Each structure stands twice: as structure tokens, then as C-alpha cells.
A and B are shown apart, each in its own frame.
Chain A
Amino acid sequence: MAEPLIFDLSKDGCRGFTLPALDVPEVDPADHIPARFLREELPLPSMSELDVVRHFTRLSRLNHSVDIGFYPLGSCTMKYNPKVNENMARLPGFANLHPQQPEESVQGALQMLKTLEESLAEITGMDAITLQPAAGAHGELTGLLIMKAYHRKKGNHKTKIMIPDSGHGTNPASCSMVGYEVVNIKSDPRGGVDIEDLKSKLGPDIAGLMITNPNTLGLFDENIGELAHLVHSVDGLVYYDGANLNAIMGWTRPGDMGFDIVHLNLHKTFSTPHGGGGPGAGPVGVKKHLEAFLPNPRIQFDGKKYRLQTKCRESVGPVLGSLGNFLVLVRAFAYILVNGREGLKNVSAYAVLNANYMMQRLKKTFDLPYDRFCKHEFVLSGKGLARHGVKTLDVAKRLLDFGFHAPTVYFPMIVEESMMIEPTETESKGTLDCFCEAMEMIAREAAENPDNLKNAPTKTPVRRLDEATAARKPDINYFQKPE
């Protein structure tokens, strides 16, 4: 049976929480606020506390999650979220601070932020960090605003950004949000950037190159130094999409590869929980020559006190109403403290080991378009299953029946019927073996009994959903019946 909606569980007269009784003399709101600004109806449910607890507990059980099982969603880095970090984010001295408190009352919080900035600068090889952006895409937007401010200051007339065809969808969308035009760069047969294609599109109108390394194929681009040099030669800036930092932490640094701007996804590499789609945090790092453009306020330490500096003339201005997703930053800070320098290097070592181990095994069963060592993830193609009338989507759905989350599918778009698999370092060999066995069994089923795949999933709380009707006749609000 489906879980009812809160509105259907509502019973007039029920209360889920009791407030302390009002202890001040009452006045009539109608004497103080014009009647046209006072509402009559309030369409909220009325439920008891136990009904609320049961409702949301039952709903939670309909989710797959890292805590329940393997979640090899490529480019999302679904690693284990250490429980102690949840405790740290709930310390009253962090959770119960108002953003407008006097500076002297939040010195510990500012110290934490400043120290985190310094750690992230060291890990990425950059000179300065802002912790403001609330997510990776928000970090991209911030980084591109910095790029734009740089070119404006230098009087450069730049209109275009180069993005490899393997780039994340947010990259071009972020470019559009700051008014840059996107120039797509092809991939070469090894899966890296096609240097000749890049050279042919390079010109004075190029503001920069936006790239992730390793890229979304999980492959490290050895030519990154030359690519950066080429872009710099037209006074373009090189932007590092940090979605894949989990592959290289402690081994190489974007700053050393020639990147000018970096964004990180703390909810990926630094294990802050994904929360069903957020909150995340997307700090941005820059080299010295771009520091003045970072969003304000900046946190400064004068040897005695931490202060917020808001008067930075060249700053792109604040990009969020606060200093950042503070409690997400606390979790990431705790993660860095526990791992330390060796631990962080091990994170990438084991992430890469796990990915290569799975890739070597699965390439015997599925097409591997780029057969070289991968970093933290790899991309298979399900095109070989077409002869059985089976698609990658069917493989993904069948995996759900085995208790696994599916890989990222149909991305990157440059691989036909792609499946992007990222195991992360926190999965055991036993789990990887089980997943590989399931993939092999599904490949056999595809040949012997393809309907098992096409009808999948059958063991999940619901089966395949009618997305077409959902989009054609949107039912997105309980209070409005679709037309």
C-alpha cells in the first residue's frame, strides 16, 4: 500500500506539538493590521506527533541510501558519511549561532572557517578560498563571475568559454548565467581533450577553459599542462571543476596543473552527506592574481581577532545571504581533521584502486570504450546489449532488484548507452565483487531472458513510473488537480 500524503492523514483537532502558553497580555491583531492583510484559511494538515514520526519513518524506508547499500553513482562520489560528523554539526556552539551575532561572540566559528579555507587551499594548491557557494553549480557561477571581473579589469573583450564535450551539464548552464557563450571542444581517441580542436578554436575572444581532470570518463588528461599554457597564451583563465577531486587528492593539485580557479564539492570529496539532493557546499579557490575578486565578506585574522572584511572594492560581491552552508563546512572540517594528510591521500588511492579493480573485471562482460587505467570512476557502454533488445536503462533498473543503486546512466553523452560507475574508497572488495557478479548475471539474463530486464524493477516499492504523463499533465501541488 502506498504511504498516504500528510494532507490525507490530517485529522481536525490533532496537534503534533504544544507551545508554552502565551504569557503576555493579548491585543486583537485586527486593531493593528488592516483586515485585508489578515488571512482566514490556512491549508496545513493537523497530525499527532506519532503520526508524523511514523509517516516520515515509513517514507524513509522507501529510499535507497549509502547507509543501506552500494551507491555507485558516477561523478556523485557517494561515499560513507561518518556518523561523528553529524554530532559535530549539532554541537550547540555551532548550531545555535545567529548569523548577525557580534563578531566577538563567534570567534570560534570564524576560526574554524579560516582554518578550513587554509586546508582547502593547501589541498588544491590555490592561494585563497571562499566558502560561500552553497553547491557545486553555485561555485561554478562564482568562479565564472571572478573570471568575468578579471577580464573586465584588464579591459579584455572576452565572450566565449571552452568546455570539453565530456563536461558536466552545469558547466554550460553556468556560463549562460554570466552571459558567456559556450564553445564545445571535442575529445580525442584516448578520451582527453583534442588539442588540435582546442587550438583551432583558440582566439582573443576566449575567456577561459572549464574542465574537470580526471574528466567525466574517469580519465586523467596528461596534456593538462599544455592545455593550460595554450589558454593562458590568449589571456584566458583555466577553471577546474572539482567534482572529481576524489581521484587525485594528495597526489596532484589543480594549482600545480596550471588552474587559476577551482571549485570543490564538499558533499562529494569531503563526505558531507548528500541529504537527498542537498545541502552541499561548493567552495571556490583562486590563485593570488584573482584573490581581490573573491566574494565578500572575507574572513581576516589580525593575530588576535577574526573579522569580516566587507570593503573589498574589486570583489564580485556576496553570492549568498550568509558566509556559507556553515554546518556543512563543520562536517568537512571534521573529515579533514580525522583523515589528515596521509588519510586524504589514501582516500584517492583506494578510490582509484576500487575503480580499476571493477573496470578490469567488468570490461570482460561490457564494452569499455577507453581501455586504459582510470582514476576514481570509469564508463562502460551497454550498446552490446542492443542485439537482445535491451538498453542501458534496463540494466540500471535490474540492478535495483539486486539491492544496488544504478550507476549514472546516459552521461557522459559522448559514450553511447553509457554507464558511469564510481565505487569510492569506502566500499569493501566484498561489495565490489557482489556488484560485479550482479552485473555479469544481468548480462547473461539479457541474452537468455531479456524480459527480466525490460520488466525490472519488480522488487522495489514502486515499478517503472509513467514519466510522460507526469510531464504532460503535471500534478505537482496537492491543492490543484491536474487539468
Chain B
Amino acid sequence: MANYIPTTPAEVQEMLGAIGVKTIDDLFAEIPPELRLQGDLNIPEGMSEPEMTRKLTRLSQSNETVDDKVCFLGGGAYDHIIPAAIDHLLLRGDFFTAYTPYQPEVSQGTLQCIYEFQSLICGLTGMDQANASMYEGATATVEAINMATAQTRRNRVLVLQTVNPEYRRVINSLNTPLGAEIVSVPFEDGVVDPAKVHEMLNNQVAAVVMQYPNFLGCIEDIEKIAEVAHEAGALAIVVANPIALGLLETPGKLGADIVCGEGQPLGIPLSFGGPYVGFLASKKALLRRMPGRIVGKTTDIDGKIGFVLTLQAREQHIRREKASSNICSNQALMALNATIYLSLMGREGIREVAGQCFQKAHYLKRELAKVDGVTFPFTGSFFHELVVKIPNARKVLGKMAKHGVFAGIPLDNWFANLKDCVLVAVTEKRSKDEIDNYCNLLGGFING
């Protein structure tokens, strides 16, 4: 109905005349009749813009959002405060209607943003180099593992059981077809004992994959684990939460060779799971193993500073089947989203976001400790997410949702031995009142 085609009927005739055919159909004549679609596609007639808007608005309103409720859900995606300025900049057509910067002379905006993104990721993670971004956290981890198996020429990969179970599923789908053997390392008290990793290491192991803080919220001893990995000639891959890195020591200083993860916490809306942005950064020795786009700084023939896609000899459009990955895009717009977020928040802002997350999560824990029936299965350090054990957890979560609180993620989705355990995240966005209300409601439902 509405359409985005500017050509007038008179122009169509003129164009057909220039081509030397009578109708547009003639241009499709070479499609054999038996392959031609007979009749129309079985989809509805087009709609006008206001009709479509009304339909989608209604559909969207049948969902309950994290703003209709109060959100204590985490597990890899977090409900942070997002500065308004970000979206105004993302809506500039010069950014979102451009494509991969194949012609750098007319793509300096996108290229410089990516260079800034790469540098920010290096600063946060303590790594030497980062790429222009990956699809999201899980697939970034898959690529990190590919880098490690290629570099070490080994195929076994130890993945701690405390790594996001959704990531572990994706790793199983995508890394095993290439011959990687994925072995999971069990945890105790919310973390993996480095001695256990040591026990399972040998000269077949390419890498140890760990998460920081881990999926259960606990701060894993990535320093010790990296150390034992290195002793066995394996690489240390750390999946990190970039907001936690506002408070926590860089994985780089603690011995990581590759740091990857999910950039959603950096000002990207929850979006029911995407689009997000993955990041991937590594130590210098792994530069030629990096997949995807990388932007470098250089000069033009007049000596003026400029930016280009570089080290392209690694990539699919040059190397075809010998490329370091098949990836050909990145998530440029979402990387830009993260870059603007980090610029607005800045050094003090990110420290404060991380600090408030830490404070509010610890406040929640102190308050929950006062609620009869609530226990904490794990004793270690945590950042902004923790596991809480609640009698009849699923039933209680259902009641909490009815009373306006998304209270947490039931962990028996993935861990059979964590029945009645719930993963609860607290960001800087939660107020004291919301946390107090959470504890009161929970106490009422457990004991009521």
C-alpha cells in the first residue's frame, strides 16, 4: 500500500523504451515458466504507515516491559540506566544508513568510531588489541575459542561450568563441528577450584574458558586459573562483564590472553535479546588470529590523519576458505552505542555505575539475610549478581511477577542441582525503595 518507490508511470515507460522491452515482465522472461510463482504470495495486502503503526503498537503493548515491572533479571543482560543523548546520535542517518566502510575516504565517521571503540575495549580489559566487534557475547566466545585452537594447534577446550550456560550451548553447536572437544569443569561453592582445572589440564588443552564475574555472580579466581592454564601451554580466555570492569582489575593484568564478552551493559536497550554487541580483545601475539574487522590509524597522501580497515589478509573476502573466520560484518551501530555510552559516562561515571551496582546488590543481600527462609548457597565475593535460595522458588517468582517484580532467573533451567535457586541481579537503576519492596514481598510470599 504505502511504498518507497519513487518512479512515476511515465518514467517506467521511458525506461522500458530505453531498455527495448514492452513491460517489466519481459525482464523476468528468462525465469522458466515452471519456476515462476503462480499467483500472489500468500501474505496480506500492504498497509498504510498509520495502520501498520497501530498494529505493531498494539502488539508491543501486549508485552510487559522491564519498566512496567521492576527488573532484577540478569544472566548476561542487565537493566542499566541509558543516557538519552545516545539514541539521538544513533538516529543520525549518516551513521545508521551507511554500510561497512569499504571506501574509507567517505567513511571516516564510522572508522574513527570503531577505532575509539577498539581503544575503549582495550582500556577496559587491559588487552593490546580489540576488533571492531562481534555479533554478541556467545558468538564472540566461540571466535575466541577458534583463535585459541588455531594458535595452539590443540583441540581440547576446558570450559568452566560457571560460564553462562547459554554460551556453553552455543559453543557446543559452533565449536565442535570444527573438531574442538569441549570439556566442562565442575564448580563447588559457586566457583571452580583452580586445582580442579590443574587436574584436567594436559598438553592437549588449547584453552581454559572462564567468566568474570561468573554466571552465578561469583568472582572466579581467574588469576590462578590463568596461571595453571599457562603452565600447561593453554591460553586463558576470560568472558568479562564490561560494567564490572569499572570496579574489578583488568583480566589483562590477571593473566588473560583473550577477553571477550557481551557489550549490552554499555548502554544498549535490553531489546528481548538483541541486537547487542560482542567484544573480542587479545594480547599482541594473537593479532593475526583475530577474526572480523579491525580499524587502523594512518595518513592520507596529504599527510592528514585518517582511518582504514586494516590487516584484511585475515578475512573472508580475500582469503575465502582460508580466512580466520567467515564473519564479514560487525555490529558497528551497537559498537557506536557502547562508544557513546562510555564517552558520556566517562571514567568517573563508569566507576560510579559499577560502584552503585556493587553497593545495591550488597544491600539487597544484607536485607534478604533478614528474611526467614532465604539462604545463600555460595559464600564467595560477588559484584552485582547473586544466587538466592528460596523455598518453592518457581511459585514465589510467579507471585512476585504478578506483584510487579521480575525477581530473578530460576537456575534449574540449566543446573539440575540448583533447584529453588534464583539468580538475582541489581543494577544502579534499582532504588532503595525497590530493593526494600523486593525483600518485603519475598518475605510475604515465602512465609505467607
The answer to whether A470 touches B308, judged by C-beta atoms less than 8 angstroms apart, is yes
Output the least CB separation between A161 and chain B (Å): 10
Q: Which of A60, A111, A321 has the most CB of B within 10 A?
A: A321
The answer to whether B30 touches A22, judged by C-beta atoms less than 8 angstroms apart, is no
Q: Which of B37, B166, B353 has the most CB of A within 10 A?
A: B37
The answer to whether B138 touches A46, judged by C-beta atoms less than 8 angstroms apart, is no
The answer to whether B122 touches A137, judged by C-beta atoms less than 8 angstroms apart, is no
The answer to whether A467 touches B98, judged by C-beta atoms less than 8 angstroms apart, is no
The answer to whether B353 touches A99, judged by C-beta atoms less than 8 angstroms apart, is no
Question: A241 CA to B260 CA in the complex, in Å?
Answer: 29
Across-interface contacts of B12 in A (CB, < 8 A): 353
B448 in contact (CB, < 8 A): no
A64 in contact (CB, < 8 A): yes
Question: A290 CA to B435 CA in the complex, in Å?
Answer: 48
Closest B residue, CB atoms, query A88: B56
Question: A200 CA to B353 CA in the complex, in Å?
Answer: 63
The answer to whether A134 touches B139, judged by C-beta atoms less than 8 angstroms apart, is yes
The answer to whether A328 touches B31, judged by C-beta atoms less than 8 angstroms apart, is no
The answer to whether A100 touches B139, judged by C-beta atoms less than 8 angstroms apart, is no
B214 in contact (CB, < 8 A): no
The answer to whether B349 touches A15, judged by C-beta atoms less than 8 angstroms apart, is yes
Across-interface contacts of A385 in B (CB, < 8 A): none
The answer to whether A460 touches B106, judged by C-beta atoms less than 8 angstroms apart, is yes
Across-interface contacts of B31 in A (CB, < 8 A): 220, 222, 248, 251-252
The answer to whether B135 touches A138, judged by C-beta atoms less than 8 angstroms apart, is yes
Question: A345 CA to B41 CA in the complex, in Å?
Answer: 9
A203 in contact (CB, < 8 A): no
The answer to whether A36 touches B116, judged by C-beta atoms less than 8 angstroms apart, is no
Segment touching A, from B70-78, B203-211, B227-235: B70-78
Q: A19-B349, A46-B348 in contact; A105/B18 too (CB < 8 A)? A: no
Select one of A15, A63, A76, A341 contacting B41, CB under 8 A: A341
Q: Which of A26, A176, A275, A428 has the most CB of B within 10 A?
A: A275
Across-interface contacts of A44 in B (CB, < 8 A): 120, 123-124, 342, 345-347, 350
The answer to whether A275 touches B326, judged by C-beta atoms less than 8 angstroms apart, is no
The answer to whether B112 touches A322, judged by C-beta atoms less than 8 angstroms apart, is no
B91 in contact (CB, < 8 A): yes
Across-interface contacts of B52 in A (CB, < 8 A): 84, 88, 334, 337-338
A202 in contact (CB, < 8 A): no
A123 in contact (CB, < 8 A): yes
Select one of A137, A277, A334 contacting B100, CB under 8 A: A277
The answer to whether B301 touches A323, judged by C-beta atoms less than 8 angstroms apart, is no
Question: A169 CA to B313 CA in the complex, in Å?
Answer: 13
Question: A6 CA to B351 CA in the complex, in Å?
Answer: 18
Mark interface residues in A35-62 (1 if CB within 8 Å of B CB, else 0): 0111100111111010011011101111
Across-interface contacts of A79 in B (CB, < 8 A): 4
B2 in contact (CB, < 8 A): yes
Across-interface contacts of B47 in A (CB, < 8 A): 337-338, 340
Across-interface contacts of B28 in A (CB, < 8 A): 248, 251, 352
Question: A195 CA to B292 CA in the complex, in Å?
Answer: 34
Across-interface contacts of A94 in B (CB, < 8 A): 56, 60, 63, 271-272
A301 in contact (CB, < 8 A): no
The answer to whether A322 touches B15, judged by C-beta atoms less than 8 angstroms apart, is no
The answer to whether A470 touches B269, judged by C-beta atoms less than 8 angstroms apart, is no
Question: A171 CA to B262 CA in the complex, in Å?
Answer: 27
- Scan residues 365-420 of chain B and give those whose CB is less than 8 A from a CB of chain A: 381, 383, 397-398, 401, 406, 409
- Scan residues 310-365 of chain B and give those whose CB is less than 8 A from a CB of chain A: 310-313, 315-323, 325-334, 336, 339-340, 342-353, 355-356, 358-360, 362-363
Output the least CB separation between B146 and chain A (Å): 8
Across-interface contacts of A26 in B (CB, < 8 A): 359
The answer to whether B323 touches A173, judged by C-beta atoms less than 8 angstroms apart, is yes
Q: Which of B89, B271, B339 has the most CB of A within 10 A?
A: B271
Question: A406 CA to B105 CA in the complex, in Å?
Answer: 11
The answer to whether A276 touches B20, judged by C-beta atoms less than 8 angstroms apart, is no
Q: A38-B247, A360-B18 in contact; A280/B306 too (CB < 8 A)? A: no
Segment touching B, from A230-238, A445-453, A473-481: A473-481
Closest A residue, CB atoms, query B56: A88
Interface size class of B (residues with CB under 8 A): 35 or more
The answer to whether B41 touches A65, judged by C-beta atoms less than 8 angstroms apart, is no
Mark interface residues in B100-140 (1 if CB within 8 Å of A CB, else 0): 11111111111011011011101110001110110111110
The answer to whether A320 touches B298, judged by C-beta atoms less than 8 angstroms apart, is no
Closest A residue, CB atoms, query B296: A470
A388 in contact (CB, < 8 A): no
Closest B residue, CB atoms, query A457: B105
A107 in contact (CB, < 8 A): yes
B294 in contact (CB, < 8 A): yes
Across-interface contacts of A22 in B (CB, < 8 A): 355-356, 359-360
Question: A381 CA to B223 CA in the complex, in Å?
Answer: 57
- Scan residues 363-396 of chain A and give those whose CB is less than 8 A from a CB of chain B: 372-373, 396
Mark interface residues in A1-36 (1 if CB within 8 Å of B CB, else 0): 011011100100011110110111111010011101
Question: A319 CA to B141 CA in the complex, in Å?
Answer: 12
Output the least CB separation between B301 and chain A (Å): 5
Q: A340-B47, A465-B105 in contact; A326/B326 too (CB < 8 A)? A: no
The answer to whether B328 touches A65, judged by C-beta atoms less than 8 angstroms apart, is no
Across-interface contacts of A316 in B (CB, < 8 A): 173
The answer to whether A105 touches B46, judged by C-beta atoms less than 8 angstroms apart, is no
- Scan residues 391-412 of chain A and give those whose CB is less than 8 A from a CB of chain B: 396-397, 400, 405-406, 408, 411
A356 in contact (CB, < 8 A): yes
A199 in contact (CB, < 8 A): no
Question: A96 CA to B66 CA in the complex, in Å?
Answer: 6
Q: Which of A86, A134, A326 has the most CB of B within 10 A?
A: A134
Closest B residue, CB atoms, query A53: B85
Closest B residue, CB atoms, query A77: B99
Select one of B83, B297, B346, B383 contacting A45, CB under 8 A: B346
Select one of A10, A46, A476, A480 contacting B294, CB under 8 A: A476
Closest B residue, CB atoms, query A273: B96
Closest A residue, CB atoms, query B364: A24
Q: A17-B345, A102-B401, A123-B43 in contact; A326/B98 too (CB < 8 A)? A: no
Across-interface contacts of A111 in B (CB, < 8 A): 59, 62
Question: A101 CA to B75 CA in the complex, in Å?
Answer: 11
Select one of A339, A427, A428 contacting B3, CB under 8 A: A339
Across-interface contacts of B34 in A (CB, < 8 A): 225
Output the least CB separation between A141 and chain B (Å): 6
Question: A357 CA to B45 CA in the complex, in Å?
Answer: 29
The answer to whether A476 touches B296, judged by C-beta atoms less than 8 angstroms apart, is yes
Q: Which of B11, B73, B94, B299 has the most CB of A within 10 A?
A: B94
Q: A337-B46, A338-B47, A465-B306 provided; 6 other pairs, C-beta below 8 A?
A: A42-B351, A47-B344, A109-B60, A173-B321, A327-B275, A400-B103
Provide a sorted-by-A list of 20 A–B residue pairs whose CB atoms are within 8 angstroms: A5-B119, A33-B383, A42-B347, A46-B346, A49-B85, A65-B96, A88-B53, A92-B67, A96-B269, A101-B64, A102-B401, A108-B62, A173-B319, A277-B100, A277-B101, A277-B293, A326-B274, A341-B40, A465-B105, A478-B119
A-B pairs, 3 with minimum CB distance: A322-B273, A340-B46, A93-B60
